[in-house]
């Protein structure tokens, strides 16, 4: 069997698989194509528990909170549709980067479209380590100190544009996540993400998920003091087209979007596989830190002692260094987990997820990272997809069951529990 998998924005990785292998592909579910403009117009005209968008935008000064370059959210399409309502208004943009780096000009043009050129001096970033940028809102019941970007409180109205898909420890992206971690301080994000180490913090789970519930509580602490906020929450299909949109109140629009996202991104499988090949597609292949989501989703379909192969360009290298330093400093995956149990730093949650998988499976990767970088963190490097396939055949032989996830960052393989 000949396969071609996406690698970066324009490249591919190709390979020939043995005919004796049983190979299946798992994608987000196909849904009917809809006219994106009509979907957005309908959602904006009928918001949930909020006035129509043209009424909400009846002010001279506006702040938009939008996702950064690591998310596929088509904010520019929404802004283009809103353009007739935005004439002669002073527009400002806060990029919800969390702890990510600032988006560069090329990325900002993709995020903001035509609004980038005319708004360059009114674009702000969530520089999470600059504490002077933040206002303290109190502490959540789980101990997260809520430091929120001051920019949020400087405008009479705020519009949030985000998208909703499964998230490996927050349950789902979207909604409250645009506030925490999107526009909060490092200290806040670190406290919240420590909860990702708890067993109930995983994909698809909201009720009883410590991370999700802490985000929800923290976001509502902010909403009590923030100016009126209007949420535009998108659900994209597997081709990154806008399939559904829900607007208005943060919680009500979010829960509607979650239901739709579940229908798209959760894919049933009949049985687990001996080898899972998972791709972190552009733009989620920006670095290893972000690509880890594709690994965590893939583990759900892998048998013990199986091979989990990540295919990701990792265009900007490792990403956040804390998780890599921890993994590379310990001799075994279990030693990593033992060290995390003694003290947490932001980034350790990703190290814990990788180390846990390494205790029961083989982790391999095809990336642009130097081989020694991966070798140090329990991941076997390969210079091509074909070389990884050839090695797997030499190890496992014929009759291997293989599952391929070309969109691994947003695909949740789901095996029905046996009765």
Separation CA 366–CA 279 (nearest Å): 10
> Do residues 156 and 61 lie in contact, with contact meaning Cβ atoms separated by under 8 Å?
yes
9-53 confidence digits (pLDDT tens): 999 999 999 999 999 999 999 999 999 999 999 999 999 999 999
Question: Is domain 2-27+270-415 classified as CATH 3.90.226.30?
Answer: yes
Separation CA 370–CA 64 (nearest Å): 39
Separation CA 97–CA 316 (nearest Å): 16
Question: What kind of fold does domain 36-264 have according to CATH?
Answer: Rossmann fold (3.40.50)
Domain with CATH 3.40.50.11440 in the chain: 36-264
310-356 confidence digits (pLDDT tens): 999 999 999 988 889 999 999 999 999 999 999 999 889 999 999 99
Q: How far is CA 257 from CA 233, 286, 408, 418, in A?
A: 7, 26, 20, 29
Domain with CATH 3.90.226.30 in the chain: 2-27+270-415
Q: Give the pLDDT score at 302.
A: 98
CA 55 remoteness from chain centre? 32
pLDDT reading at 4 higher than 70? yes
Output the DSSP codes for 54-75.
HHHT-SSEEEEEEE-TTS---H
54-107 confidence digits (pLDDT tens): 899 999 999 999 999 988 999 999 999 999 999 999 999 999 999 989 999 999
pTM over 0.85: yes
pLDDT reading at 209 higher than 90? yes
Token output for 45 = 């005209």
> What does the DSSP 8-state code read for residue 281?
-
Mean pLDDT of 191-195: 96
**3 state SS of 349:** helix
Q: Give the pLDDT score at 22.
A: 97
If one compares 273 and 321, the residue with the highest pLDDT of the two is 273
Kindly give the pairing relationship between strand 242-248 and strand 229-236. antiparallel
Mean pLDDT of 293-300: 96
Q: Give the pLDDT score at 418.
A: 60
pLDDT reading at 419 higher than 80? no
Cis bond leading into 283, ω under 30°? yes
> Under the phi-then-psi rule, with left for phi > 0, alpha for psi from -120 to 50, and beta for the rest, what region is 409?
alpha
93-142 confidence digits (pLDDT tens): 999 999 989 999 999 999 999 999 989 999 999 999 999 999 999 999 99
Q: How many CA atoms lie within 13 A of 97 on its CB side?
A: 21
């Amino acid at each position: 069997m000949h396969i071609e998998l996406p690698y970066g924005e324009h490249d591919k990785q190709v390979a020939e698989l043995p005919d004796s292998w049983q190979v299946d592909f798992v994608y987000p579910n196909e849904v009917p194509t809809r006219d994106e403009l009509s979907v957005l117009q309908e959602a904006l005209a009928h918001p949930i528990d909020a006035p129509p968008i043209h009424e909400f935008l009846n002010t001279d000064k506006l702040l938009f909170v939008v996702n950064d370059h690591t998310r596929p959210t088509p904010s520019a399409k929404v802004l283009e549709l809103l353009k007739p309502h935005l004439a002669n208004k002073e527009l400002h943009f806060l990029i919800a980067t969390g702890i990510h780096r600032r988006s560069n000009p090329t990325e900002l043009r993709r995020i903001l479209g035509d609004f980038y050129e005319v708004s360059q001096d009114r674009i702000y970033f969530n520089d999470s380590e600059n504490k002077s940028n933040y206002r303290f809102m109190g502490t959540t019941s789980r101990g997260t100190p809520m430091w929120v970007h001051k920019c949020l409180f400087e405008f009479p109205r705020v519009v949030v544009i985000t998208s909703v898909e499964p998230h490996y420890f927050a349950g789902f992206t979207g909604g409250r996540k645009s506030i925490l971690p999107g526009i909060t301080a490092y200290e806040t994000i670190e406290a919240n993400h420590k909860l990702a180490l708890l067993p109930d913090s995983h994909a698809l789970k909201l009720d009883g998920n410590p991370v999700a519930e802490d985000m929800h509580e923290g976001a509502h602490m902010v909403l009590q003091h923030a100016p009126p906020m209007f949420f535009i929450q998108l659900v994209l299909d597997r081709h990154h087209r806008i399939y559904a949109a829900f607007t208005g109140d943060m919680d009500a629009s979010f829960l509607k979007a979650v239901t739709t996202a579940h229908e798209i991104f959760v894919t049933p499988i009949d049985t687990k596989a001996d080898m899972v090949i998972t791709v972190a597609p552009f733009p989620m292949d920006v670095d290893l830190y972000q690509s880890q989501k594709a690994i965590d989703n893939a583990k759900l379909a892998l048998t013990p002692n199986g091979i989990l192969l990540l295919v990701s360009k990792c265009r900007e290298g490792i990403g956040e260094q804390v998780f890599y330093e921890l993994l590379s400093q310990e001799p075994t995956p279990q030693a990593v987990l033992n060290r995390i149990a003694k003290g947490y730093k932001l980034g350790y949650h990703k190290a814990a997820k990788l180390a846990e998988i390494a205790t029961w499976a083989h982790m391999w990767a095809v990336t642009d990272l130097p081989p020694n970088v991966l070798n140090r963190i329990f991941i076997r490097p390969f210079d091509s997809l074909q070389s990884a396939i050839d090695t797997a055949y030499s190890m496992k032989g014929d009759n291997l069951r293989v599952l391929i996830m070309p969109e691994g960052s947003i695909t949740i393989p789901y095996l029905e529990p046996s009765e």
